[in-house]
């Protein structure tokens, strides 16, 4: 029986899955259960045939090498001999090889040079030589004379994966259901932000909890989160707004799908099986493997930071060590933010020095990003400088400054688009039309993103806004109509266009008098309804009298504010008091702001603030007060 089982096992053909890059004994079963379980049988069959063709192609053409070809690619004898030995050890065939294979004197240097050939070896997805060789190289950095990687090297994985992550972001925001592998990649990227951008140890990232994320603190352009746990020392991290957006999208869209009802997990990072991520280091290795890059550990990152921080004063070194969780102490939020900015400056310096080592701007004076912007000013309509233009101006040939320039322009365009919608939240279609009018086709925000970024204008901005001042002065509010609802409501106001939450809808227009004059006006009306609005402006008690209609300043208009009906239970407007300069005079104004999204045809209502007891028994029959 054992011999038969061994025979059956030997007869099996191992084929690599082209989706997860792992060997499978039975690829059809693997596709149906893991990589393509949501696909149709026809799609799985096509993928299976594609993998088989790839496998046959590798066996027929890619397993055999010519030693003369190795000589052309690797002129250095030691590197060539080390590569030859590695190929033979892994079962490759090498034609025309020498009779006596020389011993490689420096395995570390040879391994680095072998990267050139392994890149070619990995043209086929089923070849695993590339990744394992690069992994060996990363280990040799600590035990050989090869210089350790810099911060720029450690963060290269973030730039390599960002385009895919942005695509996944777009799918998530559009509620498109993507494959599970995309969501896993997105989680890897979020973990990599904390490990490679903020240099946190994997144990600290694993210890981050949902409570700590929810209680993050925003200060200026940074967001500070704290990480505490049994496996990690207490520390704080200052994220940028973009990084916060990445992590928040994971928190609200991907993490809830991974959580299982039966499990009690409060960790921020949760694997697809509903359990807390146990090894961020393993996730980082997988992320590097996906992009065929040399894997870096947290030790690589921290050593790179320590090497770059040698030029810093002792006080800044101490702040940086505390940020990395390598020292104890109590720091204020601003100290954490300053340390994060210091870490960013070290990253930029590392990128510049790396470019010099690779030939960019060699021999020229050091140029920072401010010099780059002075040479290539950022504007709404400008184009980023090409590689040739950057090098001719004496800047590095890499994309560090180029990407920062594009990010600055992107931020300018965001601010420019939002400036059109200070008071009312725009729709995505309206933003798309504005982008089309600007003629932007690349490096511009998506309309849905602008809608998400919109925030209501602060009160001081509303008071100084020329559009609101003109609408109050001339009563030119749009999107409203007066409608007769019949008894007992009578006339009311309905929306003829959508209003979003926090939009300024209209004002309560009338003559501003003292509260005493307003009460006297009400008492003199007897059975007639009183159109008055009482409010406080500081210590003064005032009243807007809109009893007379039409008003003296707009004799041909029936203003909207006085016709808005009451609702205590379901109001969709709330009044706010503002002081505005109209016709060179300060005037007290009551504006109505939407408390929720309002659709076309909806009647506008606000709470008058009166109850049955306000009428001392006379309001017992006024049922509309309780609506």
Which range is least confidently modeled, 97-101, 407-411, 571-575? 97-101
Note the pLDDT of residue 118: 39
* Mean pLDDT of the region 370-388: 88
Ranked by mean pLDDT, the top range of 11-15, 70-74, 94-98, 533-537 is 533-537
Report d(CA 235, CA 329) in Å as an integer.
9
Tens digits of residue pLDDT in 37-49: 888 999 889 988 8
* 75 SS3 class: coil
User: If you compute the radius of gyration of the chain from its CA atoms, what whole number of angstroms results?
Assistant: 34
Q: What is the pLDDT confidence band of residue 147, given thresholds at 50, 70 and 90?
A: low
Report d(CA 571, CA 596) in Å as an integer.
9
Instruction: Yes or no: say if 151 and 305 are a contact pair by the CB < 8 Å rule.
Output: yes
Report d(CA 510, CA 562) in Å as an integer.
9
> Domain coordinates of the chain in residue numbers?
14-62, 152-341, 374-401+409-453, 461-626
Higher pLDDT, 448 or 8: 448
Residue 432 has pLDDT above 90, yes or no: yes
* Mean pLDDT of the region 377-398: 87
Sign of the CA dihedral with 76 first, then 78, 82, and 88 last: positive
DSSP strand pairing (93-95 vs 64-66): parallel
DSSP strand pairing (605-606 vs 565-566): parallel
* Mean pLDDT of the region 307-336: 66
DSSP strand pairing (511-514 vs 480-484): unpaired
Span 152-341 CATH architecture: Orthogonal Bundle (1.10)
Q: Which long-range contacts (CB under 8 A, 24 or more apart) does 460-467 make?
A: 461/422, 462/423, 462/504, 462/578, 462/591, 463/578, 463/579, 463/580, 464/580, 465/422, 465/423, 467/422, 467/423
| b/e code 224-240 from CB counts within 10 Å (16+ = b) | bbbbeeeebbebbbbbe
Note the pLDDT of residue 358: 42
As a whole number, the mean pLDDT across the chain is 77
What is each CA distance from 296 to 139, 155, 425, 514, in whole angstroms? 9, 9, 45, 73
* Residue 499, C-beta contacts closer than 8 angstroms, at least 6 positions apart: 424, 479, 505, 594, 597, 598
**Between vectors from CA 537 to CA 536 and to CA 540, what angle results, nearest 5°?**
75
Note the pLDDT of residue 185: 92
Span 461-626 CATH architecture: Beta Complex (2.170)
Q: Which helix (H) or strand (E) holds 76?
A: none
Q: What is the pLDDT confidence band of residue 395, given thresholds at 50, 70 and 90?
A: confident
Instruction: Yes or no: say if 237 and 320 are a contact pair by the CB < 8 Å rule.
Output: no
Residue 373 has pLDDT above 50, yes or no: yes
Report d(CA 39, CA 203) in Å as an integer.
36
* Mean pLDDT of the region 153-180: 85
**Between vectors from CA 128 to CA 127 and to CA 130, what angle results, nearest 5°?**
100
What is each CA distance from 567 to 63, 496, 610, in whole angstroms? 79, 20, 10
Residue 34 has pLDDT above 70, yes or no: yes
What does the DSSP assignment read for 141-196?
A: HHHSSSPPP-HHHHTHHHHHHHHHHHHHHHHHHTT----HHHHHHHHHHHHHIIII
Please report where in the chains the tokens 């680095």 appear, as a residue.
112
Note the pLDDT of residue 93: 81
What is each CA distance from 89 to 85, 254, 548, in whole angstroms? 6, 43, 98
Q: For the chain, give the percent of residues with pLDDT over 70.
A: 77
Where helices occur in 31-75 by DSSP H, the ranges are 41-57, 67-73
What is each CA distance from 446 to 169, 197, 241, 247, 436, in whole angstroms? 11, 26, 17, 19, 11
Q: What is the pLDDT confidence band of residue 506, given thresholds at 50, 70 and 90?
A: very high
Instruction: Yes or no: say if 595 and 574 are a contact pair by the CB < 8 Å rule.
Output: yes
In this prediction the pTM is 0.40
């Amino acid at each position: 029986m054992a011999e038969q089982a061994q025979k059956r096992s030997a007869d099996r053909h191992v084929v690599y899955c082209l989706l997860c890059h792992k060997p499978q004994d039975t690829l059809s079963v693997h596709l149906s259960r893991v990589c393509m379980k949501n696909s149709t049988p026809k799609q799985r069959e096509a993928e299976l045939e594609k993998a088989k063709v790839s496998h046959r192609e590798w066996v027929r053409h890619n397993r055999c090498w010519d030693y003369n070809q190795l000589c052309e690619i690797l002129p250095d004898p030691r590197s060539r001999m080390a590569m030859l030995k590695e190929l033979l050890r892994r079962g490759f065939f090498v034609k025309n090889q020498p009779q006596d294979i020389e011993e490689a004197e420096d395995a570390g240097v040879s391994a680095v040079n072998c990267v050139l050939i392994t890149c070619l070896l990995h043209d086929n997805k089923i070849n695993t030589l590339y990744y394992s060789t690069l992994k060996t190289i990363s280990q040799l950095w600590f035990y050989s004379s090869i210089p350790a990687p810099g911060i720029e090297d450690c963060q290269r994985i973030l730039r390599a994966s960002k385009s895919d992550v942005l695509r996944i972001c777009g799918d998530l925001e559009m509620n498109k259901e993507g494959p599970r592998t995309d969501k896993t990649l997105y989680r890897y990227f979020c973990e990599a932000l904390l490990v490679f951008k903020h240099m946190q140890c994997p144990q600290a990232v694993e210890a981050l909890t949902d409570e700590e994320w929810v209680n993050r603190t925003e200060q200026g352009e940074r967001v500070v989160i704290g990480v505490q746990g049994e496996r990690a020392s207490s520390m704080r991290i200052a994220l940028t707004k973009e990084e916060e957006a990445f992590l928040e999208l994971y928190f609200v869209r991907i993490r809830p799908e991974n959580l299982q009802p039966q499990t009690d997990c409060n960790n921020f990072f949760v694997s697809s099986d509903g359990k807390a991520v146990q090894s961020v280091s393993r996730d980082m290795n997988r992320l590097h493997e996906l992009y065929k890059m040399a894997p870096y550990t947290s030790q690589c990152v921290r050593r790179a930071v320590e090497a770059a921080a040698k030029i810093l004063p002792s006080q800044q070194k101490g702040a940086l060590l505390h940020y990395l969780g390598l020292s104890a102490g109590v720091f204020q939020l601003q100290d954490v933010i300053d340390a994060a900015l210091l870490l960013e400056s070290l990253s930029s310096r590392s990128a510049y020095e790396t470019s010099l080592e690779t030939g960019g701007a060699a021999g020229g004076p050091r140029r920072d990003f401010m010099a780059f912007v002075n040479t290539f000013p950022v504007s709404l309509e400008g184009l980023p400088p090409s590689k040739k233009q950057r090098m001719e101006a004496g800047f590095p040939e890499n994309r560090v400054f180029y990407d920062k320039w594009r990010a600055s322009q992107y931020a300018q365009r965001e601010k420019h688009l939002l400036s059109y919608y200070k008071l009312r939240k725009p729709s995505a279609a309206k933003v798309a039309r504005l982008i089309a009018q600007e003629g932007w086709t690349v490096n511009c925000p998506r309309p849905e993103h602008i809608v998400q970024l919109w925030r209501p204008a602060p009160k001081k901005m509303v008071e100084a806004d020329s559009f609101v001042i003109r609408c109050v002065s001339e009563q030119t509010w749009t999107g409203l109509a007066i409608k007769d609802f019949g008894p007992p409501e009578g006339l009311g106001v309905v929306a003829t266009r959508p209003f979003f939450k926090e939009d300024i809808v209209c004002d309560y227009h009338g003559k501003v008098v003292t509260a005493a004059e307003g009460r006297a006006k009400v008492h003199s009306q007897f059975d007639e309804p009183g159109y008055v609005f009482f409010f406080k402006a500081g210590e003064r008690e005032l009243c807007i009298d809109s009893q007379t209609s039409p008003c003296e300043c707009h004799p041909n208009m029936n203003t909207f504010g006085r016709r808005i009906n009451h609702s205590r239970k379901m109001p969709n407007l709330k009044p706010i008091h503002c002081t505005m300069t109209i016709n060179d005079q300060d005037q007290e104004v009551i504006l109505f702001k939407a408390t929720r999204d309002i659709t076309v045809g909806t009647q506008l209502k606000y709470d008058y603030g009166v109850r049955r007891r306000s009428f001392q028994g006379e309001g017992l029959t006024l049922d509309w007060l309780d609506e």
